[in-house]
Structure 1
Amino acid sequence: MRSNPRQNLRKTTLVTALAATTALALASCSSEASGSEGTDSDGGSDSADSAGSTQTEWPEEITISLVPSVEGEDLAEALDPLTTYLSDGLGITVEGVVATDYAATVEALGADQAQVLITDAGSLYNAMEQYDAELILRDVRFGATSYASIAMTNDPGTYCADEVVTATYGATGDELSYCNGTEAGPDAAGQGPAGQEALASIAEGTPVALQAATSPAGYQYPVVAMREQGIDTDAGIQQIPVEGNNNAVLAVANGDAEVGFAYWDARSTVTEEVPTVGEDVVVFAYTEMIPNGGVAVAPSLPEDLVAELTTLMDDYADSSDEAATVMFDLVGLSDWSADTAEDEITRYGEILAEFSQ
């Protein structure tokens, strides 16, 4: 069959046009990919490049919000070594601001007045829930990131199902009394929960020393533990209000309360006042472990900045003798740990919820 010259001409023309169009498109793509500035038609930065740079760009300054242990004129002096250390390590300005209380640290992060907060466990939980803050470090006190509340009594015959034993409290070297398997060796470890079933022995009307309702070790965790053992903590016991962990111990030692609660092991705080407290006041149960506070950051901070900040703060206590002293004086800590154990913070949030209604 003979071919049609006009059809061949049209085919040739179409192929040539398509080839030219393809070449033009490829040339345009090549020009955009290799362009030194990556600009669009009106001279602005390419949107993809701009978005990428925004994600990794560091701010010129970040602010830490915290509630320090020191007060008054010593505050600036106490903050300066930490912020200087972080500024030098990060290469950006790090400022420290003082919050009036722990809740204010969360408010500062929510308002973007601070991008880093050093605060208690409850405020860490609220920052994570309300503002999607990232938990990066936990506070270390006496080598631990959490602690138990002790249930103590001056009536071991009622609350101890086994023999009373003594163990050494490592922080002070005091010999203290325990039962119900709370301590199994010569050195006290303070790991809860333990012996909580003995709380069911608290009879109706028993005087129980409890601290303020905002105290995790002196009220919140103990109340939850007693309720779980069937104790009516509102009407079934006689609440003896005390201020501070030492006074909770003294209330039991002096006979004002039969049972009391405090952080592990607050008995060591009154050994000068009551030299026999290690024998007279026996720990018969531990609550769940209560988390220390820690450090959280705003979600707006770049990941690589957060990683470097975490490393620097984790290393701070070991960076110099001065740093260790500053850290203890500033926030009462011996170290920070990157082992965040976030589940403990979440559990604390559940405990808090029981007292927020």
Structure 2
Amino acid sequence: MIQFPKRYALPALVGASALLLAACSSSGDAESSDSATATMSADAGSDLPDTLTLALVPSDDVNQITTDGEALATVLSDQLGVDVKVFVPDSYNAVVVALQTGQADIGFLGPIAMWQAHEEANASIVLQSVRYGSSEYVGQWLTNDPDTYCLDDVTTETDDSGVEYSYCNGATGGSGPAGADALALIPEDASISWVDATSASGYYFPATQLAGILGIDDPSSAFPNGFFAGGHPQSVQAVYDGSASIGVSYNDARSNLAEEFPDVGTKVVVFAYTENIPNDGVVVSGDLSQSAQDEITQALLDVAATDDGAAALSAVYDIDGLEAANQDAFSGIVASTYANFG
């Protein structure tokens, strides 16, 4: 039986260091006063620490994400004029703890973990990733039993590489929700392949969606035969192999297996979508001054607009660009989804 995690109870903040600004003048004349005021303004406008730590969550290859992260740190360091070091812990929650305890200043996180960092580590949500022109995505429901879960005809589309992908119940195009009637057919004892306990599209959003459709109060204990596959491609493969009759992933994780299993797109059918989910993005430590937070945020936007910065962001997390975070989405649908597991 799967045990769905509750929110982590993180230790109290150690506290922020006080920032001391001092100015002195050796002369009382207006020219000296103006000069001192200008110096103070410049200092106040750039009160970054000498070194910033950029925390990245590991993907498939820790060594590769570290290498790619160092390239990103280099261009960010050049933009800000301070040293930027990379920290790659073993989980989203480790990044949240690092932000809380002063071990990290900037974190790249998924949307649920971004809200957790905001709530439990006083981090500021500042930016969202953009992919394929959008700062939103969906979680998709997968099945190897379309006869049961496809309530209309299965349609098939072919991508530019010639791989076919099948859909039903209006779950195509990457905008949700879709397939609610089909989700109502899922029994509580179904074998469901979730992705990971920290995944928005692979756990939090679909579990909350299904619990709501089935009229279940607590999604954390509603599906005893669910299991964590460990990754989005692994969840797709669990459905492909028949280890699960139903699975979830981001849209469209089937493409990760298409080279090895050319029929994955038709054998594993997408039959429903979650609500739209804000993309992953960037949080900065709440211990930093507002001017420092603003400077880091603008620097990341500027970096994303350069060739080297764009290449580094793409290498790290396939990010096409960055934009200001949709605060309404985070305080709304992300916060309420997160609260279901509190």
TM-score of Structure 1 vs Structure 2, range by shorter chain: 0.7 to 0.9
Q: How does 1:269-308 map to 2 (within 5 A)?
A: 269-299=256-286, 301=288, 303=290, 305-308=292-295
Give, in whole Å, the separation in 2 of the partners of 1:306 and 1:276.
47
Count of residues in Structure 1 that have an aligned counterpart in Structure 2: 308
Rounded Cα–Cα distance in structure 2 between residues aligned with 1:61 and 1:265: 41
CA distance in 1, matches of 2:215, 2:144: 19
Structure 2 equivalent of residue 177 of structure 1: 166
Matches within 5 A, 1:78-117: 78-90=68-80, 92-100=81-89, 101-117=91-107
- Cα distance in 2 for partners of 1:294, 1:235 equals 30
Q: Which aligned pairs between 1:129-278 and structure 2 lie closer than 5 A?
A: 129-168=119-158, 174-183=163-172, 189-203=173-187, 205-230=189-214, 234=221, 238-239=225-226, 241-278=228-265
What is the deviation of 1:173?
5.9
The separation in 2 between residues aligned to 1:308 and 1:235, in whole angstroms, is: 44
Higher helix share: 1
CA deviation digits over 1:99-134, x for unaligned, max 9? 423333333333344433333323321332245433
* Alpha-carbon offset, residue 192 of structure 1: 1.4
Once the two structures are superposed, residues 73-113 of structure 1 have per-residue CA deviations (whole angstroms, 9 ceiling, x without a partner) of: 994x64454334333333x3132230423333333333344
CA distance in 2, matches of 1:57, 1:319: 22
Q: How far, CA to CA, are the matches of 1:236 and 1:195 in structure 2?
A: 19
- State the match for 1:328 in structure 2: 314
Query: For residue 59 of structure 1, what is the aligned residue in structure 2?
Result: 48
Flag the 1:72–1:190 CA change in 2: closer, same or farther, 3 A.
closer
Q: Which entry has the higher C-alpha Rg, 1 or 2?
A: 1
Aligned partners of 1:272, 1:53: CA distance in 2, in Å?
54
In structure 1, the gaps of 5 or more residues are 1-31, 39-44, 184-188
Gap change, CA 1:123 and 1:50, over 3 Å in 2: farther
Distance 1:35 1:218 in 2: 62
Q: How far is the alpha carbon of 1:328 from its aligned partner?
A: 3.0
Structure 2 CA distance for aligned equivalents of residues 60 and 96 of structure 1: 12
Q: Which runs of 5+ in 2 are unaligned?
A: 1-27
Distance in 2 (alpha carbons) for counterparts of 1:79 and 1:204? 41
Match of 1:339 among 307, 324, 329: 324
**d(CA) in 2 for partners of 1:211 and 1:225?**
15
1:36 Cα deviation after fit? 5.0
**Higher relative contact order structure (alpha carbons within 8 Å, sequence separation ≥ 6):** 2
Deviation at 1:285, TM superposition (A): 0.5
TM-score (norm 1): 0.71
What is the CA distance between 1:307 and its match in structure 2? Answer: 4.0
Deviations 1:252-309 (A, max 9, x none): 2333332221221122222234322222222111012233321222345455554443
Please state whether the residue corresponding to 1:252 is helix, strand or coil: helix
- Whole-Å Cα distance in 2 between the matches of residues 88 and 129 of structure 1? 31
Query: What amino acid maps onto 1:66 in structure 2?
Result: A
Distance 1:96 1:251, change over 3 A: same
- Report percent identity of matched pairs: 33
Contact 1:210-1:248 at 8 Å conserved across structures: yes
For residues 238-263 of structure 1, give each alpha carbon's deviation from its aligned partner in whole angstroms, at most 9, with x where no partner exists: 43553332232233233333222122
